[in-house]
Amino acid sequence: MANTTAVFQLGMDLDDRATQDTVHGVPRKAQAEASYSPFTTHAAFGGDEEDRKDHFISRDGRCFAGTHLIIDLWGAERLDEIEHVEQTLVDAVEAAGATLLHIHLHHFTPNGGVSGVAVLAESHISIHSWPERSYAALDVFMCGDSRPEQAIPVLERAFHPASIRVKEFFRGETVWSPAESAVA
């Protein structure tokens, strides 16, 4: 029951058939008739680009929700210092031009790893560290005008890794459209 309440509070009442039959407030039937595509502008559904509040990114002919960086730090230092980790997250958020909402970190033992998240208006930065292995795993996911790649030099200066590996993903970029699925 608590889950239903939480979902309802988010504006997604699971028992409401009208909600299930719409996407972004537009009836599914109308989307199919308009040859809906995830790259269709908001104007096709009665608004214009300035009305959009989804903070999707359009860059180099691509449209996506946000950039997700998966970062591995090897041979890193100061991974067990919770105050240092917290300040590093704050600095990374600032460098990326994002908006910090909240930071929650957990220190597992006095000499153990740190796990936590910086919750952003644009999404999040999370960290999980294994100081006994000099390793940290970070996720940097941001949408809108933020620049998640600007967090990388901050992490390098703070933790001095011997090596760093970064994988970049464009979240929310789809190739699906109703017209394509009708053929299948």
Q: Does 34 fall in a domain?
A: yes
Do 49 and 76 belong together in one domain?
no
Do 31 and 96 belong together in one domain?
no
The residue-averaged pLDDT of 118-122 equals: 95
Do 98 and 153 belong together in one domain?
yes
Q: What is the domain count for the chain?
A: 2
Residue 105 pLDDT? 98
Q: Is the pLDDT of residue 174 over 90?
A: no
Considering 18-32, 102-116, 165-179, the range whose residues carry the highest mean pLDDT is: 102-116
**3-state SS class at 5:** helix
Report residue 181's pLDDT band, with 50, 70 and 90 as the boundaries.
Answer: very low
Q: Is the pLDDT of residue 76 over 70?
A: yes
Q: Are 177 and 38 in contact (CB under 8 A)?
A: yes
Percent of the chain with pLDDT over 90: 52
> What is the sign of the dihedral through the CA atoms of 31, 35, 39 and 44?
negative
Do 42 and 110 belong together in one domain?
no
Question: Mind telling me the catalytic residues?
Answer: 123, 128, 143
Do 100 and 149 belong together in one domain?
yes
The residue-averaged pLDDT of 104-114 equals: 91
Do 39 and 95 belong together in one domain?
no
Q: Does 140 fall in a domain?
A: yes
Q: Does 24 fall in a domain?
A: yes
Residue 33 pLDDT? 40
Residues of the domain holding 47 = 2-53
**126-147 confidence digits (pLDDT tens):** 999 999 999 999 999 999 889 9
Residue 59 pLDDT? 75
Phi, psi of 179 (to 5 degrees): -60, -40
CA distances from 168 to 6, 68, 71, 140, 149 (A): 32, 6, 9, 10, 9
41 DSSP 8-state letter? -
Q: Is the pLDDT of residue 164 over 80?
A: yes
Top-confidence residue, 38 or 73: 73
Q: Which of 10, 34, 53 is the last residue of a domain?
A: 53
Do 146 and 82 belong together in one domain?
yes
